[in-house]
């Protein structure tokens, strides 16, 4: 379900789809916390939702420069849009 909500969010940018995707991924991750795929999808969905919030404020923040670090499958990963940030 999370993937379907994620695709709907990407197509429409409606916040309720982002919230639904995150909730679905959280439930799936609770059932299988060792799954690197679910952890990655959850982290990327958080990043997408955060980047979109930054782009909707009149350009005050550039979503390509947002630097977030998420725990992905037990290891830390930088999800920056630009290398070296």
pLDDT in tens, 5-16: 999 999 998 999
User: Residue 48 above 50 pLDDT?
Assistant: yes
Distance CA 14, CA 16 (A): 6
Residue position matching structure tokens 């952890």: 39
User: Residue 32 above 60 pLDDT?
Assistant: yes
Q: Quick check: is 28 in a domain? A: yes
If pLDDT is split at 50, 70 and 90, which confidence band does 54 have? low
Distance CA 39, CA 73 (A): 6
DSSP-assigned letter for residue 1: -
Q: Quick check: is 71 in a domain? A: yes
Q: Quick check: is 83 in a domain? A: no
Q: Quick check: is 84 in a domain? A: no
Domain count across the chain: 1
């Amino acid at each position: 379900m999370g993937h379907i909500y994620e695709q709907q969010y990407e197509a429409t940018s409606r916040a309720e789809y982002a919230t639904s995707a995150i909730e679905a991924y959280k439930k799936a991750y609770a059932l299988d916390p060792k799954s690197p795929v679910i952890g990655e999808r959850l982290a990327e969905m958080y990043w997408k939702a955060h980047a979109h919030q930054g782009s909707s404020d009149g350009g005050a923040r550039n979503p390509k420069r947002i630097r977030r670090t998420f725990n992905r499958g037990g290891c830390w990963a930088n999800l920056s849009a630009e290398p070296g940030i």
